[in-house]
Chain A
Amino acid sequence: MKRSVLPVAALLVVGAFGAGQASAQTSASATANVSATVVGIAPLTATTVNDLDFGTVNAGSSGTVAPTDAARFLITGEPSFPVNVSFALPGSLAGPGGATIPITFGNADGLLWAPFPTTFTTFNPNGAFATSIDGFGNLEVGIKGTVTPPAATVSGAYTGTITVTVAY
């Protein structure tokens, strides 16, 4: 009798707890699908369409250009994708015998054509410009500026380089 107490008690406890677990639904699950399609991004290209040519500028005066005569770059890439456009701009143009003339770019000298030569909006070319490739995969930007050769500037051809950089 002494030995039978513990086994019986334990069995009754297990039986009472187990009955509840066997007859109840306490968990359930469902599964959803996940999908993605990886596509490539069209590589960016940049082509110079037009140089920035001030023509003849008299010493002691300033010269600029019309928007349609400004430097222009054609950029291609992933349609409708955002890009950042930035310029490396010279502070002067180099002429004969080491002579230089200053060149400046104003806050509205950046040109965003949509499309060339019909309409454009301006931006500050002195900093990064956030824009987008159009729906056809093209982006056309331009830049103009101002040269101010001082009086007594040596006559001759003065040149410099503008570099445009575009990145996704």
Chain B
Amino acid sequence: MTRGSLALFRRLAPLCILGLAPPPLGGQARTVPWPDHPLSVLARRDLRFGSVFRGRSTTIAPRDHQAAVFEVGIGQEADLLFTFLLPPGLISPGGEALPLIFGPGDGMLVRQSAHSGGGMRFDPTRPFTATVSGDERLFLHLGGTAAPTPTQALANYHGTITLVVAALGT
């Protein structure tokens, strides 16, 4: 073994030992999947601005009944990373775009155990993390602002918001 390959072997050897070390009692090598409960992400409610007027911005607060709501659960304690995929605007059947604005006050995380109706504000334009414990469910409320221009085409506009949740560990 050359000097270089010996040095590399010394660095890798502990990793090999960790990966192959037999469990204390079972006598069989086994990797434990994590998480051991399914990660659940559900869209419970859509974000509906309703009728908005040309030239006038309309804001839906995160706890408004027209705000979007996502429900997240994993059935065990875990750190979760939340990332929203937000459209810059809504699109009409004719292809016109209605600008959307999201900011720091547009998201609110409410825990299932929160009876008071309070929650933690978050900025949906930035990924963020939160810890969920046991069977707890998290509810992410999302509002936003529709900003039609003074010459905005009169039409129905649609788009989608996607919430991506990643389990980071415990």
Instruction: Give chain A's interface residues, CB within 8 Å of chain B.
Output: 2, 5-6, 9-10, 12-13, 15-17, 19-20, 23-41, 78, 168
Contacts and interface: CB of A to CB of B under 8 A. Distances in A.
B155 interface: yes
B52 A39 contact: yes
23 contacts: A5-B5, A9-B15, A12-B16, A13-B12, A13-B16, A13-B19, A16-B20, A16-B31, A20-B31, A29-B162, A30-B42, A32-B43, A32-B160, A34-B159, A34-B160, A36-B48, A36-B90, A37-B51, A38-B98, A38-B157, A40-B54, A41-B54, A41-B55
B interface residue count range (under 10 / 10 to 19 / 20 to 34 / 35 or more): 35 or more
B34 A35 contact: no
Contacts of B43: 30-32
Interface in B32-52: 32-36, 38-43, 45-52
B166 A33 contact: no
Contacts of B98: 36, 38
Nearest to A12: B16
B160 A37 contact: no
Name the residue among A12, A16, A38 with the largest chain B CB count within 10 angstroms: A38
Interface string B65-85: 000111000000000000000
A36 B146 contact: yes
Given A5-B1, A13-B12, A37-B50, A29 B156 contact: no
Contacts of A30: 41-43, 70, 162-163
A122 B16 CA distance: 86
B32 A20 contact: yes
